[in-house]
Amino acid sequence: MTAPKKLFIKTYGCQMNVYDSERMAEALGGQGYVATDRPDDADMILLNTCHIREKAAEKVYSELGRFRGLKAEKPDLKIGVAGCVAQAEGEEIIRRQPLVDLVVGPQSYHRLPEMEARARNGEKALETDFPEEDKFERLKNRPRAARGPTAFLTVQEGCDKFCAFCVVPYTRGAEVSRPAGRVLDEARGLVERGVREITLLGQNVNAYHGAGEGGDWSLARLIRELARIDGLERIRYTTSHPNDMEDDLIAAHGDCAALMPYLHLPVQSGSDRILKRMNRKHTAESYVRLIERIRAARPDILLSGDFITGFPEETDADFQATMDLIEAVNYGQAYSFRYSTRPGTPAAERPQVPDEVATDRLHRLQALITRQQRAVQDAMVGREVGVLFEKPGRQPGQMVGKSDHLHAVHVQAPDLAAGDLRRVRITASGANSLAGELL
Q: Is 50 annotated as a binding residue?
A: yes
CB hemisphere CA count around 79 (13 angstroms): 22
Provide the 10 A C-beta neighbour count for residue 222: 27
Identity at 30, one-letter amino acid code:
G
Q: Is 256 annotated as a binding residue?
A: no
Q: Say how far apart CA 102 and CA 98 lie, in whole Å.
A: 10
Q: Say how far apart CA 339 and CA 342 lie, in whole Å.
A: 9
Q: Say how far apart CA 309 and CA 269 lie, in whole Å.
A: 8
Identity at 20, one-letter amino acid code:
D
Return the SS3 of 176. strand
Q: Say how far apart CA 190 and CA 363 lie, in whole Å.
A: 41
- Using a 10 angstrom Cβ sphere, with 0-12 exposed, 13-18 middle and 19 or more buried, the burial of residue 132 is exposed
Nearest CA-CA partner of 260 in 240, 237, 238, 235:
235
What DSSP assignment string belongs to 189-248? HHHHTT--EEEEE-TTGGG-EEEETTEEEEHHHHHHHHTTSTT--EEEEE---GGG--HH
Q: Say how far apart CA 248 and CA 214 lie, in whole Å.
A: 17
Q: Say how far apart CA 203 and CA 265 lie, in whole Å.
A: 12
Return the SS3 of 280. coil
Q: Is 166 annotated as a binding residue?
A: yes
Provide the 10 A C-beta neighbour count for residue 32: 14
Q: Residue ranges for the binding site?
A: 14, 50, 84, 159, 163, 166
Binding site feature residues for [4Fe-4S] cluster: 14, 50, 84, 159, 163, 166
